[in-house]
Structure 1
Amino acid sequence: MTRSYGQFATVYDQLMEDMPYAEWLGFARAGWSRYGMPASVVDLGCGTGNISIPLARSGFHVYGIDLSSDMLTVARSKWDETPQGLARPRPGTIRWLQQDMREWELQEPVDAVISFCDCLNYLTEESDIEAAFRSTYSGLRSGGTFLFDMHPPKQLIRYAEEQPFVLDEKDVAYIWTCDFEEERCEIEHSLTIFAREHDSKFSRFEETHVQRAYDPDWVEAALRRAGFQSVDRYADFELKPADSESERLFFAAVK
């Protein structure tokens, strides 16, 4: 199932500030240089806009789609605070939409769709993955590109072996444990989060997120069943072939 963020949205950027957003953006641009540079882009599972906003700032027409209204509220606020004098090669735009990635739709097709930060691993049934692929195929123009990343099975196993994880910062802290279910290659992340409030007191809340990893060959076959004719597999933020040692898989599918 897709992510469900509530209070977590308010501290998401603090917890994720070390994530490699620049590398995801770099992979997107490298992929578009190879497959065709878009004008319009859907960021599927956009979260708080950490990829959508830089794309719009650089001139793309972006649709940020997420199921969580809380995440979109944060994203919208960040975009509204963008300095008006920011230099742009051409005017970029963002439209924020609360939709399910399994059945998203727009009035007109777009040139490209991206989904990074292992968003698709949050779909925990094969039928959900296939539905998301079909919706994406329908939402792309002919020749459009779908770029996304996923954790391979080995990464979820690694999480289970290396947990628990602990963060202790000035304004936010967490204890993160994992429970791995081998047969489905599914992992449950349980987080206890402590966040500083305006009165300097800390609030405590719990978050549970479930991810599932899929065999890469099955993912490629599912893309082809959705209608994509060209599917390439890459790894670790580079346009290099994926192999059994890859820590993060990237797919490029062309309609």
Structure 2
Amino acid sequence: MNYQAFAALYDTLMAEAPYDKWIDYMQRQLNKSNLVGIRVLDVGCGTGELLVRLNAEGAEVVGVDLSAEMLAIAKEKCEKADFSPLLIQQSMTSLEALGEFDVVTVFCDSLNYLESEQDVLDTFQSLYEQLKEDAVLLFDVHSVSKIEEGFIGHTFAEDAGEIAYIWTSFQGEHPNSVEHELTFFVQNEQNYYERMLELHKQRTYPIEQYRQWLAEVGFCDITIQADFTTETPSNNSERIFFCARKKSKGF
């Protein structure tokens, strides 16, 4: 299955995604009821759902994604919402200088698609360089238990009428990694169903490993919470949230 086809299906598959909860989490971390005047770089922006919501909250947004097809849909979506943010096709591991931002976000477990430990470390360095002094990086990742117990060995399926899918998850080649094999059946104009295949690989790491990498790059005041709450992660947590501040020169 090509990225163009997957991008077209993405919003349907993500219809129940808790985008507003990501916005709420961000507001809590910034101690703001709105985001007016905040400059945000959303990395792994996909089809732009968070960009639209952030703009509605008054933020100035820039989006980055590796997929040109995703960005094309994001462009249309943002224009329909009457704004035209800068959208850039780049890898998060090696972002060019895009200016300085108050916040960089990497939500919806986008970081888990990085293939190696060095990719994660390079990404943290790349994101650090996009931030103003005392600005913050916000991101979430799958927990180790979510990968090992919530995905591996499980099969998920849904029939949504025009789109149906079977999603099977297998042990990946690395510790705490998973391969998602997705088979889609998409109804075409002739009312036949086309079969499409997609393979997604994700990898996560223990919380302390992420903390160590963030500190190595120069982040400080690292706050770690779980599952859109203010609670400390437990063995049963599924999504781990990190807030890390870029050190000021006088720190």
**Alignment length (residue pairs):** 243
| Contact 1:30 1:239 (8 Å CA) reproduced | no
| Contact 2:227 2:237 (8 Å CA) reproduced | yes
Give the secondary-structure state (helix, strand or coil) at the position aligned to 1:237: coil
1:101-140 alignment, distance < 5 Å: 101-140=92-131
| Contact 2:152 2:178 (8 Å CA) reproduced | no
* 1:51 matched to 2:42: no
State the TM-score, normalizing by the size of structure 2. Answer: 0.91
| Contact 2:40 2:59 (8 Å CA) reproduced | yes
Partner of 2:199: 208
Equivalent of 1:33, from 31, 50, 53? 31
Partner of 2:231: 240
Deviation at 1:166, TM superposition (A): 0.6
Look up the equivalent residue of 1:141 and give its one-letter code.
Answer: K
* 1:149 matched to 2:140: yes
Partner of 1:89: none
User: For the residues of structure 1 that align with 2:85 and 2:58, how far apart are their CA atoms?
Assistant: 10
Comparing 200-209 and 163-172, the one that deviates more: 200-209
Higher RCO (CA < 8 A, seq sep 6+): 1
1:173-252 alignment, distance < 5 Å: 173-181=164-172, 184-252=175-243
Which 5+ residue runs of structure 1 have no aligned equivalent?
Answer: 85-91
Deviation at 1:203, TM superposition (A): 2.0
User: For the residues of structure 2 that align with 1:114 and 1:221, how far apart are their CA atoms?
Assistant: 19
| Contact 1:62 1:93 (8 Å CA) reproduced | no
User: For the residues of structure 1 that align with 2:97 and 2:152, how far apart are their CA atoms?
Assistant: 41
Deviation at 1:162, TM superposition (A): 5.7
User: For the residues of structure 2 that align with 1:244 and 1:182, how far apart are their CA atoms?
Assistant: 23
Structure 1 pair 43/202, CA: closer, same or farther in 2 (3 Å)? same
> Identity, % of aligned pairs?
34
* 1:9 matched to 2:42: no
Look up the equivalent residue of 1:33 and give its one-letter code.
Answer: N
Partner of 1:163: 154
Comparing 187-196 and 233-242, the one that deviates more: 233-242
Look up the equivalent residue of 1:50 and give its one-letter code.
Answer: E
Q: Deviations over 1:195-246 (max 9, x none)?
A: 1223433222110000001011000000010111221111110222222222
Give the secondary-structure state (helix, strand or coil) at the position aligned to 1:18: coil
User: For the residues of structure 2 that align with 1:75 and 1:160, how far apart are their CA atoms?
Assistant: 28
Look up the equivalent residue of 2:144 and give its one-letter code.
Answer: P
User: For the residues of structure 1 that align with 2:223 and 2:206, how far apart are their CA atoms?
Assistant: 15
User: For the residues of structure 1 that align with 2:79 and 2:187, how far apart are their CA atoms?
Assistant: 24
Partner of 1:87: none
Deviation at 1:57, TM superposition (A): 2.1
Q: Deviations over 1:17-38 (max 9, x none)?
A: 011111111111111117x966
Deviation at 1:183, TM superposition (A): 5.1
State the TM-score, normalizing by the size of structure 1. Answer: 0.89
